[in-house]
């Protein structure tokens, strides 16, 4: 299990510092776990795995509820407007918590102030893939090609403002290269067109692209995470190739309405960390292409601030707007 901004000593200290709070709240009825995306995606799959084990530890059902629309804003707002009593939680994501505030000027809420952080849950890396027709066998050759032919190659994304749009824009900024953006209505058709060669490049989430990489239909040049992926151990990271500032992951975190009592926050955070430490949960997340990630509430708040600033800069400098 990965940890976000946390050391073993810090985790132990947190666990020892809050036992009374963690035991001071117990739910007496079912909990709603809102997922702001359709069933079947990585966020939904992880939420259902986590919900299954949380309800065993809390002694009450934890029911996943998919509320979709507006890039995830519909589901997030549903949680923001819910009572801060511990019975409604959210599986937030990089996009809904740190990117959308820069893209939507009329959201009507602010994830940084209108939600209570509970803890990190999972992360997925992105992978830089190219159509086999691209004459680059590694990242160094790819960068040389881009610099020799600025704007000649096109990359596909799941739409303006999506993670598969912002991660390549971060890469372009750090590497100081140019590619043309071709937005699609979702990542799946963008990946299909990368395989077909209609666009030449994509920075897709690794779970989505893995089968195409393993089948030889696209070539993987680098991954965006802090370390090599166990799923693609021969593919180097951006950092190994001298582009450490292009490191990026898509992640999910459990949130609750603002104003949640401290005892409820501590109990939910403790239970979440216990669930994510279970080998069975880690195996199920790995099978879905995700890594279990653990943090405290305070560490998640720090991560949100850092990520909000990071993606805000990318959005401003790349002049990104939503469809």
Q: Which of 15-29, 62-76, 218-232 has the lowest mean pLDDT?
A: 15-29
Calculate helix-pair angle for 187-196, 206-214, nearest 10 degrees: 20
Residue entry with tokens 């299990």: 1
Mind giving me the DSSP string for 217-284?
Answer: SSEEEEE-SSS--TTSTTSPBTGGGT-GGG--EEEEEEEEETT--HHHHHHHHHHHHHHHT-HHHHHH
Mean pLDDT of all residues in 267-272: 98
Residue entry with tokens 């990946």: 191
pLDDT score for 321: 87
Structure-token pair, residue 120: 């990190």
pLDDT score for 230: 87
Categorize the per-residue pLDDT at 42 as very low, low, confident or very high, splitting at 50, 70 and 90.
confident
Instruction: Please state, for a pLDDT cut of 90, what percent of the chain lies above it.
Output: 82
Q: Which of 268, 317, 260 is nearest to 296 (CA)?
A: 268
pLDDT in tens, 49-100: 999 999 999 999 999 999 999 889 999 999 999 999 999 999 999 999 999 9
The string over 51-80, giving b where at least 16 C-beta atoms fall within 10 Å of a residue's C-beta and e elsewhere, is bebbbeebebebebebbeeebbbebbbbbb
Structure-token pair, residue 297: 């509430």
The dihedral sign for the CA sequence 19, 24, 28, 29:
negative
Helix (H, G, I), strand (E, B) or coil at 54: helix
Residue entry with tokens 């199920």: 284
pTM of the full structure: 0.85
Q: Which of 4-13, 160-169, 291-300 has the lowest mean pLDDT?
A: 4-13
Structure-token pair, residue 210: 């893995």
Domains of the chain listed by start with CATH number: 2-124+248-318 (3.40.190.150), 125-246 (3.40.190.10)
Instruction: Judge whether residue 40 has pLDDT over 90.
Output: no
pLDDT score for 169: 97
Contact (CB, 8 A) for 70 and 104: yes
Mean pLDDT of all residues in 293-315: 96
pLDDT in tens, 181-210: 999 988 889 999 999 999 999 999 998 899
Instruction: Judge whether residue 138 has pLDDT over 70.
Output: yes
Arithmetic mean of pLDDT over the chain = 91
Instruction: Judge whether residue 21 has pLDDT over 60.
Output: no
């Amino acid at each position: 299990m990965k940890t976000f901004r946390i050391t073993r000593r810090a985790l132990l200290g947190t666990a020892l510092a809050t036992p009374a709070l963690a035991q001071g709240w117990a739910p007496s009825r079912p909990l709603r776990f809102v997922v702001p995306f359709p069933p079947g995606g990585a966020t939904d799959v992880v939420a259902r795995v986590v919900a299954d084990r949380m309800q065993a530890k809390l002694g009450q059902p934890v029911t996943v509820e998919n509320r979709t629309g507006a890039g995830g804003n519909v589901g997030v707002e549903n949680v923001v407007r819910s009572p801060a009593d511990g019975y409604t939680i959210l599986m937030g994501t990089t996009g809904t918590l740190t990117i959308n505030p820069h893209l939507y000027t009329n959201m009507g809420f602010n994830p940084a102030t209108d939600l209570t952080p509970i803890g990190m849950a999972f992360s997925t890396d992105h992978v830089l893939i190219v159509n086999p027709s691209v004459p680059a066998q590694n990242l160094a050759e790819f960068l040389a090609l881009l610099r020799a032919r600025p704007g000649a190659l096109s990359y596909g994304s799941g739409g303006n403002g999506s993670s598969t749009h912002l991660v390549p824009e971060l890469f372009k900024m750090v590497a100081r290269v140019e590619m043309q953006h071709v937005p699609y209505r979702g990542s799946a058709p963008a990946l299909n067109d990368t395989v077909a060669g209609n666009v030449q490049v994509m920075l897709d989430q690794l779970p989505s692209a893995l089968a195409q990489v393993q089948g030889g239909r696209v070539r993987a040049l680098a991954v965006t995470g802090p370390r090599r992926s166990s799923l693609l151990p021969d593919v180097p990271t951006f950092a190994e190739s001298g582009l450490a500032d292009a490191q990026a992951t898509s992640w999910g975190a459990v949130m609750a309405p603002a104003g949640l009592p401290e005892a409820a926050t501590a109990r939910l955070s403790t239970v979440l960390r216990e669930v994510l430490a279970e080998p069975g949960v880690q195996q199920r997340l790995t099978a879905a292409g995700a890594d279990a990630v653990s943090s405290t509430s305070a560490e998640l708040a720090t991560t949100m601030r850092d990520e909000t600033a990071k993606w805000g800069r990318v959005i401003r400098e790349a002049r990104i707007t939503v469809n």
